[in-house]
Amino acid sequence: MTIHEQTLDFLRKQYLEDERPWVVAYSGGKDSTLVLQLVFELLLELGENARKPVYVLSSDTQVEAPNVASYVKKALSDIQRAAQLRHLKLYTELVEPELDEVFWSKMIGKGYPPPNRWFRWCTSSMKIKPSRRAVERITQKHGSVILMLGSRMDESSQRAKSIQSFSNNERGLNKHHEIPNALVCKPIVDWTTDEVWEYLYSNPPAWGGNHDELIRLYRQASGGECPIVLDLNTPSCGGSRFGCWTCTVVKQDKSMEGFIATGEQHMAPLNHYREALMRYRDEPGMRSQIRRDGSMGNGPFNPEGRKRLLRELLATEQESGLRLISDEQLATIQAIWHDEFDYTGETARLIAAEFGREVAMSTIKSEKHDAALLLEQAAMEQGINPEILKSVLQTVRYRAPKIDAWGAKPQLDRELEQLITKAAKQAEQATP
């Protein structure tokens, strides 16, 4: 029995075992494409017996590499159309961050410094929150779900260690450690990279067409993919990967350089802007020397720094011919600036007008400074991932009333240690 036949048999048994719907995490890369293709094949094979729904989730951070973002959107459209024609209970969804979570709202609006290896605030804002909202919505509707992930042992030694750290039940599934009522399935965990490519080369998509565009993107980028991220244990999208063109976690964006070297010259200005962000993070005069909590030290980008970032972004947009920031995001930036320093409420609009971007700035209301926002801002100032800080506070709140019970203090210590270890792993897994 081939590995393809073994995997399809495994999937068949899993699908028929219970009524839990499946959620396939699809990034457009080779591994998630293989998982989706196998699931689609299974649904076609089962026919009328394919009774429970399958949801295909893909994430658009709004700063994806433009050619990859275009490919993923077209693929999702083709997949949904094919599913409807074949009367399959398969539904696609492209999840996006909310306006106050997007990269430009955080960095240009609020002044957050560009992410680095040790502090990837972008992951929680642009990937974890949108994806988890979608999964939790499906879970609330159906009671429980099974997440189908394209994780493989062969990807890297670090990924193998991460996979091995989770214990599976008798069905080969493990509980998601952060999303309630969600089980995780990794159907291609034992596939090698060669086996993945061999199958995709030899078998066109079950939804029609071919894998030519996917193969072309990989040949251009000479690398991997940026996965759907549901928690902080997922490695960073560093090195050669399909991911955000603004990524400053890595010193060199190999996939972007690969795209440019193989004909995507219009993406060169994007790479120049990304490199500028890395310089501006530590450039004198760009950041406030007072943090939001009043302490001395590198704080957010100051007003002049934020204006400079916006002007250079819009200049990059003109040079590349690509729409890099939406009208709604520009309006959100203006609302944030109005709250913080721009009492005229006109600065971002006037800067946008310099580049032919007339925007109705009054369409976005100023955000409320509630407790959650203040907590996030405080975390950012101290270089702490807000998701980790939130988890620590929730753990302490839960354990505090029971702290006098026998064994409660050691239990609290263990849980806090696990959270800190998770944060450390996140930093270690980011490609330097």
State residue 226's pLDDT score: 54
CA dihedral 369, 370, 371, 374 (to 10 degrees): -20
Instruction: Check: CB of residue 334 under 8 Å from CB of residue 349.
Output: yes
Q: Do 226 and 167 belong together in one domain? A: yes
- 254-261 helix and 268-280 helix, angle to the nearest 10 degrees: 150
Instruction: Check: CB of residue 367 under 8 Å from CB of residue 98.
Output: no
State residue 116's pLDDT score: 85
Q: What is the pLDDT of residues 370-410, one digit of tens each?
A: 555 656 666 655 566 666 666 666 666 555 555 556 666 67
State residue 119's pLDDT score: 77
User: What CATH number is given to the structural domain containing 80?
Assistant: 3.40.50.620
Q: Which residues contact 387 (CB under 8 A, 6 or more apart)?
A: 124, 128, 232
Q: What is the pLDDT of residues 234-253, one digit of tens each?
A: 544 444 456 799 999 888 88
State residue 117's pLDDT score: 80
- Kindly state whether residue 186 falls inside one of the protein's structural domains: yes
Q: Do 294 and 331 belong together in one domain? A: yes
| Cα–Cα distance, 8 to 2 (Å, whole number) | 10
Domain that holds residue 138: 3-101+120-238
State residue 286's pLDDT score: 95
| Cα–Cα distance, 344 to 160 (Å, whole number) | 54
Where the chain has pLDDT below 50, the residues are 156, 158-160, 162-166, 223, 232, 235-240, 363-369, 426-432
State residue 236's pLDDT score: 45
State residue 406's pLDDT score: 62
| Cα–Cα distance, 309 to 281 (Å, whole number) | 11
Q: Do 141 and 188 belong together in one domain? A: yes
Mark residue 172 as left, alpha or beta (left: phi above 0; alpha: psi -120 to 50; beta: remaining): left
State residue 312's pLDDT score: 98
Q: Do 319 and 220 belong together in one domain? A: no
Number of domains observed in the structure of the chain: 2
Q: Do 233 and 199 belong together in one domain? A: yes
State residue 223's pLDDT score: 47
Q: Do 213 and 321 belong together in one domain? A: no
Q: What is the pLDDT of residues 277-298, one digit of tens each?
A: 999 998 999 999 888 777 888 8
Q: Do 177 and 276 belong together in one domain? A: no
Tell which of 333, 363, 393 closes a domain.
363
State residue 291's pLDDT score: 80
Q: Do 234 and 128 belong together in one domain? A: yes
State residue 238's pLDDT score: 40
Task: Work out the number of other CB atoms within 10 angstroms of the CB of residue 145.
Answer: 24
HEC-encoded secondary structure of the chain = CCHHHHHHHHHHHHHHHCCCCEEEECCCCHHHHHHHHHHHHHHHHHHHHCCCCEEEEEECCCCECHHHHHHHHHHHHHHHHHHHHCCCCEEEEEECCCHHHCHHHHHHHCCCCCCECCECHHHHHHHHHHHHHHHHHHHHHHCCEEEECCCCCCCCHHHHHHHHCCCCCCCCCEECCCCCCEEEECCCCCCCHHHHHHHHHHCCCCCCCCCHHHHHHHHHHCCCCCCCCCCCCCCCCCCCCCCECCCCCCCCCHHHHHHHHCCCHHHHHHHHHHHHHHHHCCCCCCECCECCCCCECCCCECHHHHHHHHHHHHHHHHHHCCCCCCHHHHHHHHHHHHHHCCCCCCHHHHHHHHCCCCCCHHHCCCCCCCHHHHHHHHHHHCCCCHHHHHHHHHHHHHHHHHCCCCCHHHHHHHHHHHHHHHHHHHHHHCCC
Q: Do 147 and 273 belong together in one domain? A: no
